[in-house]
Amino acid sequence: TPNIDRLAREGVQLNHHISAASMCTPSRAAFLTGRYPIRSGMVSSLVGRVIITLGAPAGLPHNETTFADLLKKQGYSTAVIGKWHQGLNCQSRHDQCHHPYHYGFDYFYGMPFTLIDPCWPDPSRDTELAIENKIWLCVQLVTIAALTLTLAKLSGLICLPWSLILSMILFIFLLGYSWFSSYTSPLYWDCLLMREHDITEQPMKAERAGSIMVKEAISFMERHRKGPFLLVFSFLHVHVPLPTTTEFIGTSKHGLYGDNVQEMDSMVGKILNAIDDFGLRNHTLVYFTSDHGGHLEAQVGHSQRGGWNGIYKGGKGMAGWEGGIRVPGLIRWPGRLPAGKVIEEPTSLMDVFPTLAAVSGGMVPQDRVIDGRNLMPLLQGEVQRSEHEFLFHYCGVFLHAVRWHPKDSEAVWKVHYMTPIFQPPGAQACFETTYCRCSGNLVTYHDPPLLFDITEDPSESTPLTRDTEPLFDVVIQTVANAVREHEKSILPVQQQLSELNYDNLWLKPCCGVFPFCLCDMEGSTSAVGA
């Protein structure tokens, strides 16, 4: 990964960087708003902890403020390109109430949902598009014929039985129903691309989406290089099913996952090179991260498709263990931030919100709790300690763990109240359920809680006890007091991912006239929208 490595050399490395959730929808909500997802309601008390389909009315509430909102008020042009996964429709398939435009973004190209296994590969896509075009033409001709015959009969121009006209109408409905019922796979309803408000591919050709996204990103920067801009480039890489172009398949030593990582790195390079080519290098803050850890359970046979979390225990879906929430953090700003600096202090994805407010001259909202902290003093060396004394680690609505970095100590304590039960016995992940659970009989409730010193035991391999740690009771009690104070600040809100996270047929987006929704407006040579 030469380009990501270059970014690390030229910028600041945040080696203790933490996401606010171990799954994408809540983590991204926290990233955008600077607030724990439980405050916005982007959480669940049930099994599903992400928006499960584009047919769900769930989404980031409109009363939340994103960093795009803040920067737009400061005169920035704003765009999000790539994965969104914060909802789309509320009451109809056209209302797009959760479109990025409602959250401070001026431009959007990408996936309103997220990659899922049916998205790639899709060998029958071109044939289906051709068949649908012919069936839709047939429906149009029969509809015109039925309308013409109805008008002619009502006008007395012809004499024919009503049963013939009704049969034609019934034929139209049967044709539509049979077409819809043959496309029950999420491929056709969730794997799609949009440019602004319009669907451009349904279903999407996943392996080419990344290259189109890069062209869109470069085009956006070129259009707005004369003024301030915010670009959130949200990679579809490196998420299963790992759609990868033939140019990169087989190029790594680590299978398809490695190939996909290397393709992502090349895209990082193209974006960084464009920043240089436009003369924006010294005026542009670049931030690189992930929304959660690798998905250990994503395997095909003996092939690991979900990544690797190094020395850290656990992975995606595990809210307390480091492997689920410890993520890369690279920030480059030549002339403003020292190159090659490494920071071991706890930081959070939520810190991006107040940091961007600070560098843009904006103000964070004063009418709500902001959990992120401005990183600039730490990045520039004005202070040596993180402002995060406590970080709270939720699994849905359930508090699984708390991190405490005392102001007068180098230690970072981690207290676990619940941990998932790995299955099958002896495994290091939840292979039988694909994702670990947050509550119920598939978690262990710890009393007393488990305690680790992350600075001494980053792998969380050996819990401390009263016999091995003299400060055990002090740490447990201090964290318990912090939890009580934290819980007082949590206001009741609607749980988007519990109450609204269900599939509604009439909310599913459609490129054409429902149910004839297949389309490809990108074609073999994709044009970048101006």
- Mean pLDDT (the chain) is 93
- pLDDT tens, position by position, 499-509: 999 999 999 99
pLDDT of amino acid 529: 33
Per-residue pLDDT at 414 exceeds 50: yes
- Does domain 2-116+191-506 fall into CATH 3.40.720.10? yes
Q: Pairing mode, if any, of strands 107-111 and 77-83?
A: parallel
Answer yes or no: are the C-beta atoms of 192 and 183 closer than 8 Å. Answer: no
Please identify which residue in the block is written with the tokens 């016995």.
425
Residue 132 CA to residue 127 CA, distance in Å, equals: 9
Q: Which residue has the higher pLDDT, 522 or 305?
A: 305
Q: Which residue has the higher pLDDT, 132 or 156?
A: 156
Question: 127: pLDDT confidence band, cut at 50, 70 and 90?
Answer: low
Residue 513 CA to residue 461 CA, distance in Å, equals: 56
3-state secondary structure 388-419: CCEEEEEECCEEEEEEECCCCCCCCEEEEEEE
Encoding tokens for residue 442?
Answer: 């598939």
- pLDDT tens, position by position, 36-58: 999 999 999 999 999 999 999 99
Answer yes or no: are the C-beta atoms of 386 and 345 closer than 8 Å. Answer: yes
- pLDDT tens, position by position, 264-307: 999 999 999 999 999 999 999 999 999 999 999 999 888 889 99
Read off the pLDDT of each residue in 184-193 and give the average, rounded to a whole number: 90
Q: Quick one: the chain helix, strand, coil %, rounded to 5?
A: 35, 15, 50
Catalytically active residues are: 24, 85
Residue 85 CA to residue 401 CA, distance in Å, equals: 25
**Amino acid at residue number 200:** T
Question: 129: pLDDT confidence band, cut at 50, 70 and 90?
Answer: low
Q: Which residue has the higher pLDDT, 131 or 109?
A: 109
- Cis ω for the linkage preceding 121 (within 30 of 0): yes
| Phi, psi at 135, each rounded to 5° | -65, -40
Residue 99 CA to residue 59 CA, distance in Å, equals: 9
For residue 273, which of 77, 265, 331 has the smallest C-alpha distance? 265
